Amino acid sequence: MKTTTTTRTTTATSLLAFIMLLFSFPVFAADYEETMKTNIQKIGEAKTLADYTALASQFERIANVEKDKWHPAYYAVLCYVNAVAMLQLSEDEKSAQLDKAQPIMDNLEKNFKNESEVFALQGFLYEMRIMEMASAMKYSSLATEVLEEAEKLNPANPRVYYLQGMNIFHTPKAFGGGKEKAMPLFGKAKSLFESQKPASALYPNWGEWHNNHMLAECNKTE
């Protein structure tokens, strides 16, 4: 009798869990786009490392459910990389953020091999790894490689040329860099930013303001 009661209790618990899952999933699916749009907006409002970390965790949780979509994991990586780009962090803190981002990035590259934005973001991550001369050549070369792949996948992606411009701008003239060589890339990115039409509200649209700033820097007379 005890065994029968236990079995019934276990069965009832399993059934309840199944029903809860059944009803919760459609709600999540219906709210997916709105939740994503809200969190994407918050990226631009983030001011502290805690802000960026909390948002990255939110996107990672969504990515764990929506495994067939690249946007949630993409924005999780972008949060970690933006924390490095936007905040005054120590080199150890920067490395820690980028180390959190890279495994997510690896899965994106593995599962979404035809998405230009994914490879462009990897280029951004590599560029943020450049913190000293010892690492400059390695990560600049890696950024160049993945940005070339991003360009092949979508020659109209403005972030490709913006990030290529950034890579070249910060490369010493003696090694083929400098603002004169970066300026045409920022110029091309500007034209593409102005004409771009995002495929959806979840599609990346960052980089335009800073690209215009860098173009202005290139136009300054020394």
182 and 217 co-located in one domain: yes
Structural domain tally of the chain?
2
- Residue 154 banded pLDDT, cuts 50, 70, 90: very high
**What number is the average pLDDT over the span 183-193?**
97
Compute the distance between CA of residue 179 and CA of residue 170 in angstroms, rounded to an integer: 8
36 and 107 co-located in one domain: yes
52 and 108 co-located in one domain: yes
The reply to whether 16 falls in a domain is no
- Residue 5 banded pLDDT, cuts 50, 70, 90: very low
The reply to whether 25 falls in a domain is no
pLDDT tens figures, 82-106:
999 999 999 999 999 999 999 999 9
Q: What is the pTM of this model?
A: 0.85
pLDDT of residue 26: 41
Task: State both tokens at 155.
Answer: 């020659």
- Residue 64 banded pLDDT, cuts 50, 70, 90: very high
The reply to whether 118 falls in a domain is no
The reply to whether 215 falls in a domain is yes
- Residue 1 banded pLDDT, cuts 50, 70, 90: very low
Residue 200 has pLDDT above 80, yes or no: yes
Residue 121 has pLDDT above 90, yes or no: yes
The reply to whether 203 falls in a domain is yes
150 and 183 co-located in one domain: yes
85 and 135 co-located in one domain: no
Contacts of 40 (CB under 8 A, 6+ apart): 75, 202
The reply to whether 93 falls in a domain is yes
The reply to whether 18 falls in a domain is no
- Domain end position, chosen among 112, 145, 179: 112
83 and 155 co-located in one domain: no
Task: State both tokens at 117.
Answer: 């934005």
- Residues of the chain with pLDDT > 90: what percent? 76
SS3 128: helix
- Domain end position, chosen among 112, 142, 170: 112
Domain that residue 202 falls in: 131-222
- Residue 220 banded pLDDT, cuts 50, 70, 90: confident
What's the whole-number average pLDDT of the chain? 88
Compute the distance between CA of residue 194 and CA of residue 7 in angstroms, rounded to an integer: 64
Residue 219 has pLDDT above 70, yes or no: yes
Residue 174 has pLDDT above 50, yes or no: yes
Task: State both tokens at 207.
Answer: 């980089």
42 and 101 co-located in one domain: yes
Residue 3 has pLDDT above 50, yes or no: no
The reply to whether 197 falls in a domain is yes
